[in-house]
Structure 1
Amino acid sequence: MDLTYVQKIAIYALPVIFAITVHEAAHGFAARFFGDMTADRAGRITLNPLKHIDPIGTILLPALTLLVGGILFGWAKPVPVDFSRLRNPKRDMLWVAAAGPASNFVMALFWALMIKLSVTAPNVYSEPMALMGQAGVMINVVLMVLNLLPLPPLDGGRIAVSLLPNQLAYQYAQIERYGFIILIVLLATGVLGQVMEPFIEATIRIIEFIF
């Protein structure tokens, strides 16, 4: 089915907003669990999208990538985490970082369930449910895979820093100041899509196997 741009926005809006919102809230929840109350005090451990939306990263950029095609790309306002306040900063950094991508995998499963349930829904709801479910699966899988790339300041980069020996971890963490620029270059040159594609396909196959 060929959708108009307005129809695409209607279908993708909810999955995009909640994929990014739950991802950030998960970081804050994990940080609080491991001893850092920074996000909690800032009111960022919430599912209220308004607390997490970045006008450019959450709205404008996804809308543009949806228009021109390619990988749906975007971000939210990062949840503030003071890793030094974690009970075991280097070890617990891994769990705080992993909480975001893990939440996206859970949400991908939720949207896959919506696709499955859509066949039992009345005709007027069946197709919109299925299309929104497909969008939700893809958005969350892409966000999960993107954030697991071992590039600081992405979650995968923080996981790598947590696992590396101290001296190497310190040196690797210095990449963070250039991380966003590297990410944009990889996106603009198409390398990012080539790297992510096999992992996206593998994750979707796992979800299909579960359902």
Structure 2
Amino acid sequence: MQQESGRRSNKERTQATRAALLGAARQLFIEKGYADTGTPEIVAAANVTRGALYHHFADKQALFRAVVENEAALVADEIDRAAPDDLPAGEALIKGGDAYLQAMALPGRTRLLLIDGPAVLGRAGMDEIDDRHATRSLRAGIGFAVKSGALPRNLPVEATTLLLSAAFDRAALAIETGGDAADYRAVLAALIDGLANRK
């Protein structure tokens, strides 16, 4: 029994160390950017040793990738909650898009996912992460809308996903720098409605 309890404690300590590193790194990457953040300040902010950092992550880029992956997963969770499977397909696309913009309004998130993410991890690396999270949600929503007839059945799902994703990303960046969120939401909804009405 004691050994089992000890194993749990070790697991909990490991999880706590990882969470501390991710939290400290996220804050520093937002405040200073990836390039200007050093691993010594990350471990100091996390109150762990340098050895602990390299036990969990191969290098600073691997830590950054884990931060980005976590942020992308949180955004996708918000989209999925806002657009459950029982919503009509067209409404789900609009509600999911609104949820994306709301999730991206969290301070620092656009920097992590839309600016530093592609710069540090490359477009292919960022696409790989997106494909597991928000882009996956959008692709599924578009695919469902096409199959259900809410969008034209001859609309190519992959191309539509790519272009709508880019539009949502651009809107998130514009809102981050002071753009009117209501304006961008209205235009994106009109874009989706326009696709729905395309014959």
TM-score of the aligned structures, taking structure 2 as reference length: 0.34
Q: Which has more helix, going by share of residues?
A: 2
Greater C-alpha radius of gyration = 2
TM-score of the aligned structures, taking structure 1 as reference length: 0.32
